[in-house]
Structure 1
Amino acid sequence: MNFFSQYGKEITSILVPLITFLLNNFFKGSAKVSVGELHQFSFLIEEPILNEQGEVVKPKQVINTRAYIILNEGREAAKNFELIFNFKSDMHLNIWPVRPYSESYDPNGRYVLTFGYVAPKENFRCEVLSINSELPELLISRSEQGVSRLIVLYPQKVLNKYFIKFIQCCIFLGMASFVYIFILLLQWLVTKTG
């Protein structure tokens, strides 16, 4: 107890800038784009490829699919968002919900999809498909605000909405209790060192 009463002002003077720093860095509005692979699958199709003479060149075909989800979890728009693939090949592309984009190639021949704007809390899907060829890998995704974060997605069961509300209430009460105890501690430090 003597330690806190003797050094309470110094402890408070260190805690206030630390809390200010944490609030500025973790609660600042910025674009936070995340990209995750929803699924990938290869379909084996029992449809032969025939040449001009009607002879079977390949008895089966392989259709490769891959789907990505892009979401801006931040409070600011991501401008000039790019998805950069290793190559284009003969892949087919689907963007859902429909939105405008432009296609280009960088000096190394990488295939670049550019979206002008991804609004805060907005998400969309980019699905690619190729027939009898490999799909290109997504090398990087970035915007003017920075490089996006790659996230790992996995299936999860949907919980009851009342259970989720109960957990949210418990978290809120825990945070309120923490703030209350913190204020009591500060009040005690001020009265003991004042």
Structure 2
Amino acid sequence: MTYQDLAQMSLAQWIQIFAAIAAPIVAHIWVSIIKKKPALIWTARHQFFFLVPASDANTPNDTEQNSEVEADNLDFIHYQTMGFFFLNKGRASALNIEIIFNFKPEHFEFWPPIAYETTLNPDNRFIINIDRLGPKSNFNLELLGRRDPPKIVRVISEDGETYLREFSFEPKPSNAILAVCIIIFGIGLATTAYFTAGLIINLFS
């Protein structure tokens, strides 16, 4: 097909071509939007350091820490906290969630409380197992300890692995909305290119 043939094509013919290309793309996006599926995300919300006076932490029930304080002759004891936030953005439950740490945290707590089980692998990887997290449900996982807190190695569920995301208070458009905007922009750009090419061909023909 030559440039003259393209220039002679009517607008209706171009619309049919673009519709044939865009229809399956839009249909796929629409199906992905209305399909019920989980969308598990997680992020590190905060980390904080506390310097607690040794006299306050030197309790009769904490013999291990008492010996450390006496041995080091410290005026303050160093505590660290780390907080993680988990959210299921999808419209179906996320099943069989595994949160894998590189070692067991000294202390951890969920809020709001949820049912969970723990496993310690032979290589000392600490795993928290959660059966399900309902649609639009979330929880916080808080760590507390004297040492540096462990890092999350992996977070996986039946739908695959999910990766750390940057925490933001600003709402962001979904990937589906961005894809629709890109398609509309592409159609407009192609239409502009078509009319520009036709105008140039008519001027030099």
- Does the CA-based 8 Å contact 1:51-1:57 persist in structure 2? no
1:6 equivalent in alignment to 2:6 = no
- Does the CA-based 8 Å contact 1:31-1:75 persist in structure 2? yes
Aligned to 2:95: 79
- Residue 58 of structure 1 aligns to a residue whose secondary structure is coil
1:134 equivalent in alignment to 2:141 = no
- Cα distance in 2 for partners of 1:88, 1:57 equals 27
Q: With structure 1 as the length reference, what TM-score do the two structures score? A: 0.70
Aligned to 2:51: 44
Q: With structure 2 as the length reference, what TM-score do the two structures score? A: 0.67
- Cα distance in 1 for partners of 2:71, 2:109 equals 33
1:124 equivalent in alignment to 2:135 = no
User: In the superposition, relative to structure 1, how do residues 51 and 106 fare at CA in structure 2: closer, same or farther (>3 Å)?
Assistant: closer
Aligned to 1:62: 78
Aligned to 1:34: 41
Aligned to 1:21: 28
- Cα distance in 2 for partners of 1:60, 1:148 equals 39
RMSD of aligned alpha carbons: 2.7
Aligned to 1:150: 164
Q: Greater Rg, structure 1 or structure 2?
A: 2
Deviation string 1:97-144 (CA, Å, 9 cap, x unpaired) is 11110000234321000111100000011101002x111001111111
Aligned-pair distance for 1:55?
Answer: 6.8
- Cα distance in 1 for partners of 2:163, 2:135 equals 15
- Cα distance in 2 for partners of 1:22, 1:2 equals 33
- Does the CA-based 8 Å contact 1:33-1:149 persist in structure 2? no
- Residue 36 of structure 1 aligns to a residue whose secondary structure is strand
Tell me whether 19-28 or 117-126 shows the greater mean CA deviation.
Answer: 19-28
- Cα distance in 2 for partners of 1:45, 1:6 equals 76
Q: Paired residues, what number?
A: 156
- Cα distance in 1 for partners of 2:87, 2:102 equals 21
More strand by share: 1
